[in-house]
Chain A
Amino acid sequence: MKTAVRKITERYGKDKTRLMDILIDTQTELGCIPREATLQIAEDLVMSEVDVDQTISFYHFFSQKPTGRYKIYLNNSVVANIMGMKEVVRTFQKELGIKFNEVTPDGLAGLYETSCIGMNDQEPAAIINNRIFTRLTPFRVKEMVRDMKEGKDIDDMFVADYGDGQNRSDLIKSVVSNNIRKIGPVLERNYKPGQAIEKIINMDPGDIIEEIKKSNIRGRGGAGFPTGLKWEFCRNAPGEKKYILCNADEGEPGTFKDRVILTELARLLFEGMVIAGYAVGATEGILYIRYEYKYLQQYLESILQTARETNYLGKNIQGRKGFDFDIRIQSGAGAYVCGEESALIESAEGKRGEPRDRPPFPVEKGYLDMPTVVNNVETLCAVVKVILNGGDWYKSFGTVESTGTKVLSISGDCKFPGVYEVEWGFSVNDILDMVGAAKEDVQAVQVGGPSGALISPDEFNRILGYEDLATGGSLIILSNERDILTDVVLNFTEFFIEESCGSCSTCRIVPTLLRNKLMKILNARGVKQDIDDMLEWGKILRASRCGLGQTAANPILSSLKNFRHLYEDKIQKNKEFDSGFDLNAALKEASKATGRVTII
C-alpha cells in the first residue's frame, strides 16, 4: 500500500495544495482511505495526520472504512423521492440485505445516501462507482443487484441506450440525458470554438472589461454580482499571479443546467475562462467540478487537450506574445458548501471546504492568497457571446435590471422536465405553460432550490429576475398531491443540517432546532408558540458567515410565509404549551438494553 500511495503523492509533486486530488486517487485505487494511507500521505506532504484527517472527514465521498466493491449512492432529494426513490431504496436494502451506511458482509456492495446529484430531470438516480444510473425502478434494481453478484463490470451493467448528444461519446458513455428543451443565445447550436479568442487577442483587456460591464451581465450562480465589476476589481488588485476559477460545484438541489453545459458546450466554457484570464491578467484557470460529475472528467480533459493542441490554450495563445493561459480540472468530493466561492477556493487548495471570512474578497486574496475571479459556468459561457456580439446586443435580451438569458433547470411535477434557456423576465406562469405543468394541479413552485423561495399560485405572476425572483435557475414544481411540509420543507431542512460545514454555531445548531420544532408539529404536538419560535429563531441564522447558513431557515420561513395554513392545521388549538416530550420514547432504549419493562 505504501508504494501505491507514494506513487500518488509523487504524481502531484508532493504538493499539499493538491491534497484533494491525492485523496481522490487514493480512494479510487484502494476503495477507501485507510489510516496507513493517511499516515503515508501526511509523511510525504510533511503535514500532521490530523490535517489530512480533517480534509478526509469533511467530504461525503471519502471514506476511511472499506465501502464495498460496488459503492452505491442513492439521491435523497425532494424530486428523487417524488419520482419513487423510496421504493428503489427499499428494493436495494432488501436485495442486498443491508441498510444505509452498511456494507454487505462479503464486501460486495455498500449503500449510502447522498444529497442531490444533479439528475432531477431523470430521477430516481444513483451513482455507482462514479457511473450514473438514471430512472431506476425496483425491477431495474433487482437486475442491477443480480449483475453485481455476478461480478459484472460497472460499464456492462447499463441496459438502456446511452443518452443524447455527447453523453454517447466514447469518453462519457453515459445513460444521462441532456433534456435540452429550449435554446437561446448561450445554448445555441452554431457556436464555433475559438472565434471569441481570435477576436480578443487584438483587444485591450480594459476594453473587454468595459464591454462586459456594458452588457450588465451578473453572476449566474444566484448571488448576481456584476461580472464586469468583479473582473475589474481582480485586474486592479496587486498580486504576482492571478487565477480564474470556474464554479461547477452545482450543488443546489434541483439544479442541473451546468451538467448539460459541461456535456455539450465545454469548449464554450473554457473559451470564457480564457477571455476572463486575458481580461484580468491571469495565467491559470481551474475548473472546480463537483464529484457527482466525475463521469465527465475524462471527456473534459480531452477537450482541454484539443484546445491545447490547437493553441487556444497554452503559451502565446493564437500567436499573441505573452498571452499564456492553461486550465486544470479540480474535482470536489461531495460538499454543497463548496459552491460558496471562498469555500470552493479552500477546497481547491486541498483543505476543508469552510467559507472564509470576508473581506478580503477572493478578487483581492483568493486562490493561494492571490487575486482570483470565481465565476459560474453559465456566466463564463455568456461572456463569450457578449464578446462576439457586443454588450448592447446582450442587453437586448431580458429586462433592464436583469440582462440576457438564464438557463433554467426545471423538474418535479411537469411533462417536460429539463433545461430551458429563457430571457429574464419570464413569469412563473409562462414557465409552467412552457414545461407542460397542469396548472390547476400545481400547489407550489420552489424557485432557486432550498435556499430560495417556495411560492404559491397567487404569486405565479412574479417574474424571474434580480428585481423580483432572483434565482440560480432551479425550479421544482409541486403538484397538489405533494405534502409540502414532509416531502419538501423537512427534506430541505435536513439537507441544510447535513451540508453545514459546522464552522458557525448558528448554522450548526439552529437548523437542527428548527427541524425538531417541525417534527413536533408534524407529530401533532405543536402549539402556536412553536410557529412563533421558528419565525424568531430563523432570523438568528442571518448571523452566519456564508450563504448556506444565512439561508438555512428559508425552507421553513418561506413556507410559513406562503403556506402558513399547513402549519396551523397541524397545531393544537386548545393548548398554549406542549413540550412535545414523550417519556415512553425517551426510556425505550435503556429499557431494552437492561431488559426492563417501562412502567410510567
Chain B
Amino acid sequence: MSKPVVATTSLAGCFGCHMSFLDIDDRILELIELVEFNKSPINDIKKFTKKCDIGLIEGGCCNSENVHVLKDFREHCKILVSLGECAIMGGLPAMRNGIPISECLAEAYLNGPTVSMNEERILPNDPELPILTDKVYPCHEVVKIDYFLPGCPPSADLIWLTLVALITGDELQLPYEVVKFD
C-alpha cells in the first residue's frame, strides 16, 4: 500500500507553525517513513503533482493568492487542517480588519511617517502582485476545514500526535501539556 501523502503551505502566516513542525526534531525521520510529502515549503515542491490525503494550512487569507492556494488545497486534499491561530482566527494579520483596506494602503504607502520615496504617490499596482482582500479571513470562512489545531504556534508534539492519529486512524490523545498555551 502506498504511503499517505501530506501537503503543507503558509498563507498569511509567519512560518512559525512550519518552524514548530520542524521542532518534531528527529521524529522527522520516522515521519518520512510514514508519509510522502507533496506540495510543501519543506521539500520545495511548488505545484501539486497528485491528490493528497492531508493538507496542513498555516495562516489565514489576506490576498487573492492566498485564496487561490487555499482552494487548490481543498481540491487536492482529502483532509484539511487549520494549523495555528492565524489559520483559525486570522491572527496578528487580522489586526487590520477594523480599518478599511484603502486606509491601510494609504497609511503604508502615502501618508505614514516612514514614507519617504514614492513621489508619484502610487499604491503598488503591478499585475504580478496579489490583490489584498478587504479583511483577513480565517481559512474556514473560505473553504471547508476538517480539523483545527490551536496554538501560536501549535507545539511540535501536538502536530506530531495529530499527524500520527490521522495516519493511523487511532483516536487522538491530547495530554494537557500539549494544549496549554501559557
B175 within 8 A of A: no
Determine whether the beta carbon of A590 is less than 8 Å from that of B127: no
Q: Interface centre among A592, A594, A596, A600, by most B CB within 10 Å?
A: A594
B76 within 8 A of A: no
A residues 243-291 touching B (CB-CB < 8 Å):
none
A593 within 8 A of B: yes
Q: How does the 8 Å CB contact mask read for A574-592 relative to B, with 1 for contact and 0 for none?
A: 0001011101011111111
* Cβ distance A582 to chain B, nearest Cβ, rounded Å: 10
* Cβ distance B146 to chain A, nearest Cβ, rounded Å: 11
Determine whether the beta carbon of A583 is less than 8 Å from that of B64: yes
B113 within 8 A of A: no
Q: Which residues of B contact A589 (CB under 8 A)?
A: 100-102, 134
* Cβ distance B172 to chain A, nearest Cβ, rounded Å: 22
Given A590-B105, A594-B123, A594-B125: A579 touches B131 (CB 8 Å cut-off): no
Q: Which residues of B contact A101 (CB under 8 A)?
A: none
A322 within 8 A of B: no
* CB contact between A587 and one of B127, B131, B142 (< 8 Å): that residue: B131
* Cβ distance A526 to chain B, nearest Cβ, rounded Å: 14
Given A583-B67, A600-B64: A590 touches B141 (CB 8 Å cut-off): no
* CB contact between A586 and one of B106, B123, B137 (< 8 Å): that residue: B137
Chain B interface residue count, CB cutoff 8 Å, equals: 22
Q: Which residues of B contact A577 (CB under 8 A)?
A: 144
Which B residue's beta carbon lies closest to that of A591? B131
A residues 546-600 touching B (CB-CB < 8 Å):
577, 579-581, 583, 585-596, 598, 600
Q: How does the 8 Å CB contact mask read for B134-166 relative to A, with 1 for contact and 0 for none?
A: 110100111110000000000000000000000
Q: How does the 8 Å CB contact mask read for B90-106 relative to A, with 1 for contact and 0 for none?
A: 00000000001110011
Determine whether the beta carbon of A586 is less than 8 Å from that of B144: no
Determine whether the beta carbon of B142 is less than 8 Å from that of A590: no
Determine whether the beta carbon of B131 is less than 8 Å from that of A596: yes
Q: How far is the CA of A593 from the CA of B125 in the complex (A)?
A: 9
* CB contact between A579 and one of B100, B132, B142 (< 8 Å): that residue: B142
Which B residue's beta carbon lies closest to that of A529? B144
Determine whether the beta carbon of B142 is less than 8 Å from that of A598: no
Determine whether the beta carbon of B123 is less than 8 Å from that of A587: no
Which A residue's beta carbon lies closest to that of B124? A594
Determine whether the beta carbon of B141 is less than 8 Å from that of A581: yes
Q: How far is the CA of A47 from the CA of B67 in the complex (A)?
A: 49
* CB contact between B125 and one of A579, A583, A587, A596 (< 8 Å): that residue: A596
Determine whether the beta carbon of A590 is less than 8 Å from that of B67: no
B168 within 8 A of A: no
Determine whether the beta carbon of B133 is less than 8 Å from that of A590: yes
Determine whether the beta carbon of B142 is less than 8 Å from that of A596: no
Determine whether the beta carbon of A592 is less than 8 Å from that of B102: yes
Task: Classify the secondary structure of B's interface with A.
Answer: mixed
Determine whether the beta carbon of A581 is less than 8 Å from that of B137: yes
Given A593-B123, A594-B123, A594-B125: A587 touches B133 (CB 8 Å cut-off): yes
* CB contact between A581 and one of B100, B125, B132, B142 (< 8 Å): that residue: B142
Which A residue's beta carbon lies closest to that of B64? A587
Q: Which residues of B contact A596 (CB under 8 A)?
A: 125, 127, 131
Chain A interface residue count, CB cutoff 8 Å, equals: 19
* CB contact between B102 and one of A580, A585, A590 (< 8 Å): that residue: A590
Determine whether the beta carbon of A590 is less than 8 Å from that of B101: yes
Q: Which residues of A contact B127 (CB under 8 A)?
A: 596
Q: How far is the CA of A579 from the CA of B80 in the complex (A)?
A: 14
* Cβ distance B95 to chain A, nearest Cβ, rounded Å: 16
Q: Which residues of B contact A598 (CB under 8 A)?
A: 64, 131
Q: How far is the CA of A173 from the CA of B146 in the complex (A)?
A: 64
Determine whether the beta carbon of B101 is less than 8 Å from that of A593: yes
A residues 29-65 touching B (CB-CB < 8 Å):
none
Which B residue's beta carbon lies closest to that of A588? B134
Q: How far is the CA of A590 from the CA of B142 in the complex (A)?
A: 18
* Cβ distance B153 to chain A, nearest Cβ, rounded Å: 24
Q: How far is the CA of A592 from the CA of B101 in the complex (A)?
A: 10
Q: How far is the CA of A588 from the CA of B101 in the complex (A)?
A: 10
Q: How far is the CA of A521 from the CA of B98 in the complex (A)?
A: 24
Q: How far is the CA of A580 from the CA of B123 in the complex (A)?
A: 29
* CB contact between B134 and one of A580, A590, A595 (< 8 Å): that residue: A590
Q: Which residues of A contact B132 (CB under 8 A)?
A: 587, 590
Q: How far is the CA of A593 from the CA of B101 in the complex (A)?
A: 8
Q: Which residues of A contact B135 (CB under 8 A)?
A: 586
* CB contact between A593 and one of B67, B105, B140 (< 8 Å): that residue: B105
Q: Which residues of A contact B102 (CB under 8 A)?
A: 589-590, 592-593
Q: How far is the CA of A590 from the CA of B137 in the complex (A)?
A: 15
Q: How far is the CA of A577 from the CA of B135 in the complex (A)?
A: 22
Q: How far is the CA of A590 from the CA of B108 in the complex (A)?
A: 13
Q: How far is the CA of A592 from the CA of B64 in the complex (A)?
A: 14
Q: How far is the CA of A593 from the CA of B109 in the complex (A)?
A: 12
Q: How far is the CA of A586 from the CA of B134 in the complex (A)?
A: 5
Q: Which residues of B contact A579 (CB under 8 A)?
A: 140-144
Q: Which residues of B contact A587 (CB under 8 A)?
A: 64, 131-134
* Cβ distance B87 to chain A, nearest Cβ, rounded Å: 14
Determine whether the beta carbon of A595 is less than 8 Å from that of B125: yes
Q: Which residues of A contact B131 (CB under 8 A)?
A: 587, 590-591, 594, 596, 598
Which B residue's beta carbon lies closest to that of A516? B141
Q: How far is the CA of A272 from the CA of B80 in the complex (A)?
A: 65
Which B residue's beta carbon lies closest to that of A581? B142
* Cβ distance A101 to chain B, nearest Cβ, rounded Å: 15
Closest 9 pairs between A and B when the two form their complex, measured CB to CB? A593-B102, A590-B132, A586-B133, A594-B125, A577-B144, A594-B123, A581-B142, A587-B131, A590-B101
B-to-A contact residues, CB < 8 Å: 64, 67, 100-102, 105-106, 123-125, 127, 131-135, 137, 140-144
* Pairs across A and B, CB under 8 Å, 12 listed: A577-B144, A579-B140, A579-B141, A579-B143, A580-B141, A583-B133, A586-B134, A587-B134, A588-B134, A594-B105, A594-B124, A598-B64
Q: A590-B134, A594-B124, A594-B125 are in contact. List 12 more A-B contacts (CB 8 A).
A: A579-B141, A579-B143, A585-B134, A587-B134, A589-B101, A589-B102, A590-B102, A590-B105, A591-B131, A595-B125, A596-B131, A598-B64
